[in-house]
A and B are shown apart, each in its own frame.
Chain A
Amino acid sequence: MSSNVPGDLKYTRSHEWVRRLPSGELEIGITDHAQEALGDLVFVEVPAVDRTLARGEACAVVESVKAASDVYSPLAGRVVGSNAELATQPELLNQDPYGRGWLLRLAPEAGEGDAGLLSPAEYVKFLEESQ
């Protein structure tokens, strides 16, 4: 099963995606591959605004009928927004993982770059290798 990997995002090996917004803030969610593997999502817990996150820190929980999974912050920074719509419509994460299913927005810590994140091509390769 091939999953959708948009060309304008960065990725992690734990299946998060990162979008750099014009403001310099980062939007974060889970990939199409991740939502597909989890199945129907029924519960999403997003972080509180102003919470400070370290790189790799568990910052959200996505729970499907099958299981609960942690979402890890791809970069260090301060939470400036989280998707309240997911509280009542967790299925948005299945339907539109790169759009209305976004999880949080982060103001990255000074000096936090894209180092360590995967390009779309690298993420596609990673998915193929982990099949």
Chain B
Amino acid sequence: MGLKTPLHDICASQGAKFIDFGGWDLPVSFGSQIEEHHAVRRDAGVFDVSHMGILDLEGARSRELLRELLANDVAKLTSPGRALYSCMLRPSGGIIDDLIVYLRAEGAFRLVVNAGTRGKDLDWIAEHAARAGVQVRERSDLAMLAVQGPKALSRTLPLIPSALREGAQSLARFSALEADGWFVARTGYTGEDGVEIMLPASEAEALWRALGAGGVRPIGLGARDTLRLEAGLNLYGNDMDESHHPLESGLEWTVAFEPRTRLFIGRAPLEALRARAEHPLFVGLVLEERGVLRSHQRIDRARAGAGAADAPAGEVTSGTFSPTLNRSIGLARVARGVGPEVRVDIRGKSHAARIVKPPFVREGRILIDL
């Protein structure tokens, strides 16, 4: 038996099927994963994401600490409530985790990190925080719900504390506000509009029920994966990890090389890699035939002689069936100069696929040519 979130019992009572995810028992679906996917694209759905790690950093030097620890620059967070997506790197440039950091007040930040990396994140941050005199507090007293979809905001507003309602209605994308122990952010992992809500664990089940009564469907991890893949969003452990750096993981846009005086951890190797410009590229894939792309499948050049003979041209890092496109899509790491036509080895058979630029789908719209 794994760890249970405060919403485990209500999910079980609603027919959830559970799987192990980073040591947690989490709902993979409540029935049909494809119907859940469409519900988020077309209407609204709610995910229990209480397994994610919430870390509060406080101290006069917390901004300085995060400017060293994160590859993106928290100097961009100029007013309370602003959020930033960033990688946290080893000195080698390998990715320890990807996370969202919120500025709560000067000297107070909140980090939301992956469940599977929580332990090593904490160790890494604590080691540096101690030197900077910054307090790190893990908020396991909070639950976290993600309400996502075109109707997510309107269905959620009546259910949040009145002190937040007006502000939440006009909340900018990638911003948050908080009151009464609730933290409401206009963020998500689906490519749809929506909010992520952190609140006292004791209040989570009531919110889950109220959302359900308001027509918001419960959604499992299965649909969370197909939604994030269509949205072209990376999954830590699949699309990047400690043996891969942001430049070969489609995350160069999250690395703030300016100002050049900011010596964040991992900067030197990334600068060298960027100057050399030989690292693999991170791309989207559409399968042109029937079948399903899966992580670790081998990618080959479409025409022999187009590159080094027999050397694989790349590897699928994430793959699935896209319910919106009704065909298989994936993310992949490929050598430079490969494509756009490629072949993918699926259980020993070669299949035609095409390199595209993610995202595949955003806000219900298909963004690639089929």
Contacts and interface: CB of A to CB of B under 8 A. Distances in A.
B235 interface: no
Contacts, number: 34
Interface residues of B, number: 15
Interface in A38-88: 39-40, 42-43, 61, 63, 65-68, 87
B22 interface: no
Contacts of B294: 67-68
A36 to B, nearest CB: 9
B321 interface: yes
B292 A42 contact: yes
A75 B22 CA distance: 40
B347 A65 contact: no
Contact of A39 (B222, B290, B292, B323): B222
Interface in B224-248: 226
B320 interface: yes
A61 B33 contact: no
Interface in B5-58: 28-29, 32-34
A71 B81 CA distance: 53
Main secondary structure of the interface of A (DSSP, over half): mixed
A43 B222 contact: no
B337 interface: no
B305 to A, nearest CB: 31
Contacts of A67: 294
A32 B32 CA distance: 15
A43 B347 contact: no
B269 interface: no
Given A61-B347, A65-B33, A87 B222 contact: no
Contacts of B32: 39-40
Nearest to A66: B222
A39 to B, nearest CB: 5
Nearest to B327: A42
B291 A43 contact: yes
A39 B29 contact: yes
Given A42-B321, A43-B321, A68-B347, A63 B292 contact: yes
A47 to B, nearest CB: 14
Nearest to B294: A68
A66 B294 CA distance: 10
A43 to B, nearest CB: 6
Interface in B264-297: 290-292, 294
A87 B28 CA distance: 26
> Which of A40, A63, A66, A87 counts the most B-chain CB atoms under 10 A from its CB?
A40
Nearest to A37: B17
A39 B321 contact: no
Contacts of A63: 291-292, 321
Given A65-B34, A65-B226, A66-B222, A43 B29 contact: no
Contacts of A66: 28, 33, 222
Contacts of A65: 33-34, 222, 226, 320-321, 323
B62 to A, nearest CB: 41
Contacts of B347: 61, 68
7 contacts: A39-B32, A42-B34, A43-B292, A63-B321, A65-B33, A65-B320, A68-B347
Interface of B: 28-29, 32-34, 222, 226, 290-292, 294, 320-321, 323, 347
Given A65-B320, A66-B28, A87-B290, 12 more contacts: A39-B33, A40-B32, A40-B33, A43-B290, A61-B347, A63-B291, A63-B321, A65-B222, A65-B226, A65-B321, A67-B294, A68-B292
